[in-house]
Structure 1
């Protein structure tokens, strides 16, 4: 099916708004030996956590937040290694397990704010766009994989996704990595969308056109 894609705006941000919940802040405060988070005013929780984190050494604090956020995916040795690497590299952009990069970004930026820049400053892109099918198909719900494939014609050949995943972007084959590349995909009407990803994956300069067409085929085996 043919689609018309319009990129309306791309915002570059230092944090993903709403990623950390009040419950996250309260649980993290407990791990940083601040037990009164549950009784604090909700609006003060982020600032309280930043102060609690800054009482610890950067690597130790990174270990605590990493264990909270990625403890089910990483062992103690991996967490310790990443906690040191985060001080010198943008691990959230380089980590080979793509499905963890979004969570690593949010850990990195929490620590970046708490330590006033001791950690590298990574950035995310919030892409606002619309996708309209040339034929109405109310049963078709676009996935993260669908969206990336449809973006192909608008992206420069220098784009990292196209360079690393050319076959997945251009051929009728599965693209499971799309689930990790796009951190959030939201729409209220299945026409106007917002996606969140790393600036490393998609940034303003990556688009050669802000209005373009794309074709989406049914994957082999989905028919």
Structure 2
């Protein structure tokens, strides 16, 4: 199907609002030995957590949050190694398991705020765009669909295009797309907000803001 794509703007942000729920804050407060989170004012929970976190050494705090977010995915040795590396590098941009990078970003930024900059400051991009079908009905699109459609507007220097050139340009499966796209929001299946790492898509990556693109049916591998 042919689509008319319009990239409206890209916002660069230090955090994605709404990622951490009140329940997350309460549970994390318990893990940081602040048991009264459940009875605290909801609006005060983020600040209380920042204060509770800052009572710990940065690497200890990182381990606690990582164990909370990845209870079954990481062993103790991996948690310790990632916590150590987070103080030095933007692990959320470099971790080889792409589907974990989004969560690692949110963990990193929580710690960045609590420690006032002791952790590297990673950034996310929110891409605002529209996808209008030229010759058919609107339909629900996946992260994979959307990245393939945006391909025509991205510079050849873009990291996604460099690492996944075939998946972006051909009608073959692109399972990594679900990890690259952290959130994909739409209310009308035309206007979209896509949340990802600045490392994956940033303002400098856009070479065209209005263009046409064809979405082909994916040929499943035998």
TM range (shorter): over 0.9
Equivalent-residue separation in structure 2 for 1:168 and 1:3 (angstroms): 19
Give the stretch that moved more between structures: 191-200 or 70-79. Answer: 70-79
Equivalent in the alignment of 1:13? 13
Equivalent in the alignment of 1:26? 26
Equivalent-residue separation in structure 2 for 1:178 and 1:155 (angstroms): 15
Equivalent in the alignment of 2:173? 174
User: Is residue 155 of structure 1 aligned with residue 146 of structure 2?
Assistant: no
* Contact residue 172 and residue 220 of structure 2 kept, 8 A: no
Equivalent in the alignment of 1:189? 188
TM-score by length of 1: 0.98
* Contact residue 173 and residue 220 of structure 2 kept, 8 A: no
Equivalent-residue separation in structure 2 for 1:219 and 1:152 (angstroms): 15
TM-score by length of 2: 0.98
Please report how far the alpha carbon of residue 72 of structure 1 lies from its aligned counterpart in structure 2 after TM superposition.
Answer: 1.5
SS of 1:186 mapped into structure 2: strand
Equivalent-residue separation in structure 2 for 1:54 and 1:212 (angstroms): 48
Equivalent in the alignment of 2:215? 216
Q: Deviations over 1:172-213 (max 9, x none)?
A: 100000000000000000000001000000000100011111
Equivalent-residue separation in structure 2 for 1:10 and 1:221 (angstroms): 32
Equivalent in the alignment of 2:202? 203
User: Is residue 61 of structure 1 aligned with residue 78 of structure 2?
Assistant: no
Equivalent-residue separation in structure 1 for 2:185 and 2:84 (angstroms): 34
User: Is residue 134 of structure 1 aligned with residue 134 of structure 2?
Assistant: yes
User: Is residue 37 of structure 1 aligned with residue 43 of structure 2?
Assistant: no
User: Is residue 77 of structure 1 aligned with residue 77 of structure 2?
Assistant: yes
Please report how far the alpha carbon of residue 137 of structure 1 lies from its aligned counterpart in structure 2 after TM superposition.
Answer: 2.1
SS of 1:190 mapped into structure 2: coil
Equivalent-residue separation in structure 2 for 1:79 and 1:89 (angstroms): 15
Q: Deviations over 1:80-136 (max 9, x none)?
A: 000000000000000000000000000000000000000000000001110001122
Please report how far the alpha carbon of residue 221 of structure 1 lies from its aligned counterpart in structure 2 after TM superposition.
Answer: 4.4
Runs of 4+ in 1 over 6 A off after TM superposition: none
